[in-house]
Amino acid sequence: MAVTGDETETGTSGDLTACQLQNTGSSLPQGGAETSTQGFVKSANPSQKREHRLMKNREAARECRRKKKEYVKCLENRVAVLENQNKTLIEELSSIKDIYRHKVE
DNA sequence: CAATGATCCCGTCAAGTTCG
DNA sequence: CGAACTTGACGGGATCATTG
């Protein structure tokens, strides 16, 4: 097993409400800077168009993976928190049962 | 130390979705 | 409706750990 991971669900102390994926319309340099996509795409020859498309997709894939990774990390945090909650509730229930038992006896 | 397996990250393609 | 965007799937290279 290659434990490359430096991840682990460290607290991040986050309030993890909803780990939502989907386009938050977040970062992504889409409309941004560099190649003024508009004019370029029209005047470019097919191979330039292809190159441009590949480049765009390359960046998109990177961003997509980044978001997915973030999403998974968020889910992992959520699992950790819920497991803790569950544990606490089980203990609480157990002590309530105890109290009840003593009263009955 | 070489072979092997596991895992990660990347680039590309294809199909689906969104938007002007 | 077409162009741009998003994402799952696939194949390949790099790196690390284990094993004989």
- pLDDT (tens digit per residue) in A44-80: 787 888 999 999 999 999 999 999 999 999 998 999 9
The yes-or-no verdict on residue A92 having pLDDT over 60 is yes
- Chain C footprint bases within 7 A of protein beta carbons: 3-9, 15-18
Q: pLDDT at position A104, please? A: 83
Q: What is the tens place of the pLDDT at every residue in A4-53?
A: 333 333 333 334 457 887 654 333 333 333 334 555 666 678 788 899 99
Measuring CA to CA, which residue among A44, A26, A25 is closest to residue A35? A44
Nearest nucleotide by C1' from A54 CA? B12
Q: Where are the beta strands (DSSP E) in A1-105?
A: none
Sign for the pseudo-dihedral over CA of A44, A50, A54, A60: positive
The yes-or-no verdict on residue A96 having pLDDT over 60 is yes
CA–C1' gap, A45 and C15, in angstroms = 40
Verify if strand C has an atom below 7 Å from the CB of A28. Answer: yes
Q: Which residue is nearest to nucleotide C3 (CA to C1')?
A: A41
